[in-house]
A and B are shown apart, each in its own frame.
Chain A
Amino acid sequence: MKTQSLLDRQSIVVLALLAAAAILVPVLNGIMAPGSALHLSDHLVPLLGKYICFALLALSVDLIWGFCGILSLGHGAFFALGGYAMGMYLMRQIGPRGVYADPILPDFMVFLNWKELPWFWYGFDWFPFAALMVLLAPGALAFVFGWFAFRSRVTGVYFSIITQAMTFALMLAFFRNDMGFGGNNGLTDFKDVVGFPLQAGATRLVLFVLSVLALAGGYLLCRWVISSKFGKVLVAVRDAESRTRFLGYRVEHYKLAVFTLSAMLAGVAGALYVPQVGIINPSEFAPANSIEVVIWVAVGGRGTLAGAILGALVVNAGKTWFTGALPEFWLFALGGLFVFVTLFMPRGILGSAQDLWERSRQRFRTNRPAEALSPAAE
């Protein structure tokens, strides 16, 4: 078994591309004159920022699914919780600029006759507190949920289904107007973040760069986790959970730790997503969204961190393009893509590309037919 270093060749490529994005996008958008062929149009900046946030979310799913075998169909819930924490901060930042000019209460509370701010909104006017909640809210939920689930050894499909139940229950709860999170309309009409107006191009660019940095940081964190001894145990849990347990590892502790970490990453992704798209609403909790995230990972290549990023970018870019170019038929294309990938590229785009590369290299070396090398199918 080869040892993995923190920065293998793939990682360097990923980080280099992210660095290029962090530099090129502001340059092309901010410095190139509008109208020049190289100018990056304004509307693409938040769009790309959104993709980057989705990539971070996909990365968090890949960390637990690809490396620990935990398939969460409820990761959208952590993403949305992070988003709500940020959204609440942004709501409080509006202050008296809301349509009713109430200095404390957000608009939706005013017209539904709320008299005072619910207790759980306290503190969200202070950015460090909100930032902490971005990590803590999803982290705590994941910790409690995981603590119960892993201790009782809920695994496989059962775990997936109850994570789905979790996000579904949260969606219903947040849809309720009595909860105090704005119900179906969610939180919207944000004005500025830590003093900078959200509508300004420069703020957008900064948010984009921050998202890229978060993605790069998240990537490095995941690399560090999986290349450590801790990561080796995770892979062992993925491949043979009982055996790992018999070897004396407290499997549930490992799972709980990585699940909580992953939920926090998802929360960060959500927090960066909200100011860039300008709305957070309970439909982010929809089970379908969480399934879609898993599909991004599968399309890109499960178990390869770079693949998760790639998958999120490809599917979302495809969605953007298809919904504009083929509005009536894009679901066929998207559905077809999922079926195609599962059937013909079981290791995703990146995994298949690696396979192809390995195989051709080995064929070159040994001059033997490729079929002989691949392990016999079941």
Chain B
Amino acid sequence: MSIFNISRRNLMALSAAALVSSALAGTATAQETIKVGVLHSLSGTMAISETTLKDVMLMLIEEQNKKGGLLGKKLEAVVVDPASDWPLFAEKARQLISQDKVAAVFGCWTSVSRKSVLPVFKELNSILFYPVQYEGEESERNVFYTGAAPNQQAIPAVDYLAEEEGVERWVLAGTDYVYPRTTNKILEAYLKSKGVKPENIMISYTPFGHSDWQTIVADIKKFGSAGKKTAVVSTINGDANVPFYKELANQGVKATDIPVVAFSVGEEELAGIDTKPLVGHLAAWNYFQSVDTPENREFIAKWKTFTKNDKRVTNDPMEAHVVGFNMWVKAVEKAGTTDPDKVIDAIVGVQVPNLTGGVSEMLPNHHITKPVLIGEIKEDGQFDTVWQTDGLVPGDAWSKHLEGSKDLIADWKTLKCGNYNTVTKKCGA
């Protein structure tokens, strides 16, 4: 009933009341805590992926508080639900920064949600940590990309398939949105540069949430039976993967015949599928739950305790948040303040251990160094790492394989520019 009472008053009263209460709340707690915004969808289509990331942020903040907080203050998580609604992401980001006065925001999953909040972070000068693999072609002063850029995921995966499995024909299958489009563009250019003929590349796009894969799987089978080793490079988006893999299994496409390497399928997605028919299909990530390092064992144990669920799995974007959060903590300690400008300056070059045994570093282009791991799906829904890069791969903000971006570099340390053109020697030109 209270909703109706409020609404009968005019709008001014409402906003004024909200303002006063938030102002009071703000002054009462601002001294004791540092607020951290968590901007992940808890409802709508993306809740399936993002809810876990919210949980991991809550765990990290709790852990940090157990260690005594940050700069002598406790951390406090401010969780909001942007409900998989892109304009709502911008609204919530604005609210987190200007009303809740958070020191940094950890959030977003889809590229469009990141694009939606970008102007807000630039305008209000705050910090966003973005934990998901994405299409690249971006470097902003206020955003830190802790997920993989295409050169940290797609290209090593293709190299592996070509070398280890002798693949000569390629199916690039993806959901029709920017990440698959860009990734496939980059891969196409890359494959052609390696001498793959255009008739040996098949590109297919499907709508979001596509659930009837009969025709496409049959097409893939057909394409794959031309006498040359064929592989599918899948950038199919989360929800559509389960029916895709179910159809693959039903039509008897085995990994030994046509392996599928996916960039968006991790432990969480596999938890919803019967993985026995999928053994041997691949995924390329920068982290697998099955990686056997002390850091990872400790993290998994903590996660299972925190969620009070022994079956909860961990995945790559979670690790990205762990790395991103630890980098932020270190940068704040280094700067001695949570002031965004100082933190942005301090964080470049910060190194923290990742969960796969290496030490990741924040680069001047606001991407990080990561190992690249190729894993084969096992019967228990985990991955068996069959290959990994020798060292860490630095993330490229701008792809060398795209015409529009091959001359661009990003450097926020010395050049103070996200899109510096090495040919014209100008920023943003």
- Min distance, Cβ B193 to any Cβ of chain A, angstroms: 15
- A277 proximity list for chain B (CB < 8 A): 87, 90-91
Q: State whether the Cβ of B429 lies closer than 8 Å to any Cβ in chain A.
A: yes
Most B Cβ at <10 Å: residue of A20, A44, A48, A330: A44
Q: Is the interface of A mostly helix, strand, loop or mixed?
A: helix
Contact with A along B1-34 (1 / 0, CB 8 A): 0011011101110111011101100000000000
- B79 proximity list for chain A (CB < 8 A): 327
Q: Is the CB of B207 within 8 A of A48?
A: no
Q: State whether the Cβ of B392 lies closer than 8 Å to any Cβ in chain A.
A: no
Which of A17, A96, A108, A317 is within 8 Å of B429, CB to CB?
A96
Q: State whether the Cβ of B359 lies closer than 8 Å to any Cβ in chain A.
A: no
Within the assembled complex, what's the spacing in Å between the Cα atoms of A277 and B19?
Answer: 20
- Min distance, Cβ A157 to any Cβ of chain B, angstroms: 25
Q: Is the CB of A43 within 8 A of B94?
A: yes
CB-nearest residue of chain A relative to B421?
A101
Within the assembled complex, what's the spacing in Å between the Cα atoms of A42 and B110?
Answer: 27
Q: Is the CB of B115 within 8 A of A47?
A: no
Given contacts A175-B207, A279-B86, contact A50 B181 (CB under 8 A): no
Which of A17, A177, A185, A199 is within 8 Å of B111, CB to CB?
A185
Q: Is the CB of B7 within 8 A of A314?
A: yes
Given contacts A99-B419, A323-B81, contact A111 B405 (CB under 8 A): yes
- A47 proximity list for chain B (CB < 8 A): 91, 94-95
Interface-located stretch among A32-40, A128-136, A158-166: A32-40
Q: State whether the Cβ of B59 lies closer than 8 Å to any Cβ in chain A.
A: no
Interface-located stretch among B117-125, B276-284, B350-358: B117-125
Which of A175, A313, A327 is within 8 Å of B81, CB to CB?
A327
Q: Is the CB of A46 within 8 A of B86?
A: no
- Min distance, Cβ A327 to any Cβ of chain B, angstroms: 4
Q: Is the CB of B137 within 8 A of A111?
A: yes
Q: State whether the Cβ of B402 lies closer than 8 Å to any Cβ in chain A.
A: yes
- A39 proximity list for chain B (CB < 8 A): 19
Within the assembled complex, what's the spacing in Å between the Cα atoms of A41 and B25?
Answer: 14
- Min distance, Cβ A321 to any Cβ of chain B, angstroms: 8
Within A44-62, the residues touching B (CB, 8 Å) are: 44, 46-48, 50-51
Interface-located stretch among A2-10, A186-194, A227-235: A186-194
Q: Is the CB of A185 within 8 A of B178?
A: yes
Which of B120, B185, B205, B208 is within 8 Å of A113, CB to CB?
B185
Q: State whether the Cβ of A211 lies closer than 8 Å to any Cβ in chain B.
A: no
Q: State whether the Cβ of B394 lies closer than 8 Å to any Cβ in chain A.
A: no
Q: State whether the Cβ of A30 lies closer than 8 Å to any Cβ in chain B.
A: no
Q: State whether the Cβ of B116 lies closer than 8 Å to any Cβ in chain A.
A: yes
Q: State whether the Cβ of A320 lies closer than 8 Å to any Cβ in chain B.
A: yes
- A328 proximity list for chain B (CB < 8 A): 42, 81
Contact with B along A301-315 (1 / 0, CB 8 A): 000000000100110
Looking at chain B, what size class is its interface with the partner chain?
Answer: 35 or more
Q: State whether the Cβ of B82 lies closer than 8 Å to any Cβ in chain A.
A: yes
Q: State whether the Cβ of B272 lies closer than 8 Å to any Cβ in chain A.
A: no
- Min distance, Cβ A325 to any Cβ of chain B, angstroms: 9
Within the assembled complex, what's the spacing in Å between the Cα atoms of A176 and B174?
Answer: 12
- Min distance, Cβ B42 to any Cβ of chain A, angstroms: 5
- Min distance, Cβ B192 to any Cβ of chain A, angstroms: 13
Q: State whether the Cβ of A349 lies closer than 8 Å to any Cβ in chain B.
A: yes
Which of A111, A175, A185, A188 is within 8 Å of B208, CB to CB?
A175
Which of B80, B87, B178 is within 8 Å of A184, CB to CB?
B178
Within the assembled complex, what's the spacing in Å between the Cα atoms of A175 and B177?
Answer: 7
Within the assembled complex, what's the spacing in Å between the Cα atoms of A199 and B92?
Answer: 17
Given contacts A324-B80, A327-B42, A331-B43, contact A278 B182 (CB under 8 A): no
- Min distance, Cβ B232 to any Cβ of chain A, angstroms: 20
Q: State whether the Cβ of B99 lies closer than 8 Å to any Cβ in chain A.
A: yes
Given contacts A99-B419, A278-B116, A349-B7, contact A108 B178 (CB under 8 A): yes
- A51 proximity list for chain B (CB < 8 A): 11
A sample of 12 inter-chain contacts (CB < 8 A) reads A40-B19, A113-B404, A175-B207, A186-B112, A188-B112, A199-B122, A199-B123, A279-B112, A313-B11, A323-B81, A323-B88, A327-B81
- Which of B's residues lie within 8 Å of A, judged by CB? 3-4, 6-8, 10-12, 14-16, 18-20, 22-23, 42-43, 79-83, 85-88, 90-92, 94-95, 97-99, 110-112, 115-116, 118-120, 122-123, 137-138, 176-178, 181-182, 185, 205, 207-208, 402-405, 408, 418-419, 421, 428-429
